[in-house]
Amino acid sequence: MTINIGANPIGWSNDDLQELGGDTPLETCLAEARSVGFEGMELGHKFPRTAPELRKALAPFGMACVSGWYSANLLTQDDRQEMATLRPHLDLLKAMGSKVLVFAETSNAIHGDITRPLSQRPTLDDAGWAIFGARVTAVAEATLREGVRLVYHHHMGTIVQSEADIQAFMANTGPAVHLLLDTGHATWGGADPALLAARYRDRISHVHTKDVRPAVRQRAQAEDWSFLKSVVEGVYTVPGDGCVDFAAVFRALPGYAGWVVIEAEQDPARANPLTYARMGFTHLQNVLRETGAIV
């Protein structure tokens, strides 16, 4: 088992605010990502959603399908209803050979609304965590039986945002549920991603690497910006261009095998995607070598 470095197309074309990079063709994203050295891509809104068409889109660039985000609604429906809704996406990932399912609850999330400040993000009480955790566990057990591991994406503007949220989520879910460790969301949410990596090492099966510009983060918090306003203003960047200690993160993940994905959404008009992709890939590759994660 080895580590593979992948990318998310959000650096070229944003999914939550589609006018960012809206005129960038998918082919440009794939060609530039491949030229940098990325081996695979996560899905975005410009990708085909049938296996034959998706293979046709990826094949010229020799890119694997890493995974794809799924917006869950387990606060409003049970696990059987969720599995029925999830089925087309799950079947696509299986057909493409993807081993993980990026999963996040969005039924009451505010991260896609540029007018809603993060102070208005949803929360759960103890009873809510128990119900939600049981439903996520049931879905994770079902997908794992089909060979795909559910990896939960903690995310700003959702019910799993802070360190306390992550702890509550992990405590209320079973071993079939794994964590997608996102260095950028963890840092902005007030957690140390290296400490999360150490604490949940046995339940981390996917990693998103993005960096945080502390000055933008501080202003976003002080002025109570929305998630998307913060993104537009540059709160996130690629590894090596912010305050995250990636060496500490990967030292806390001994033996990790799987995908490490650069997912640093920015305004491509202000942060050239190819330039930043190269910067992030070089820094991440150097860190992985220095920490012995890759040779």
Give me the pLDDT at residue 188, please.
Answer: 98
Strand partners, 69: 102
Q: Judge if pTM exceeds 0.85.
A: yes
Fold of the CATH domain 3-290: TIM Barrel (3.20.20)
Q: List the chain domain ranges.
A: 3-290
Give me the pLDDT at residue 115, please.
Answer: 97
List, for residues 124-165, the tens digit of each pLDDT value. Answer: 999 999 999 999 999 999 999 999 999 999 999 999 999 999
Whole-number CA gyration radius for the chain: 18
Give me the pLDDT at residue 1, please.
Answer: 53
Residue numbers in the chain where pLDDT is lower than 70 = 1, 295
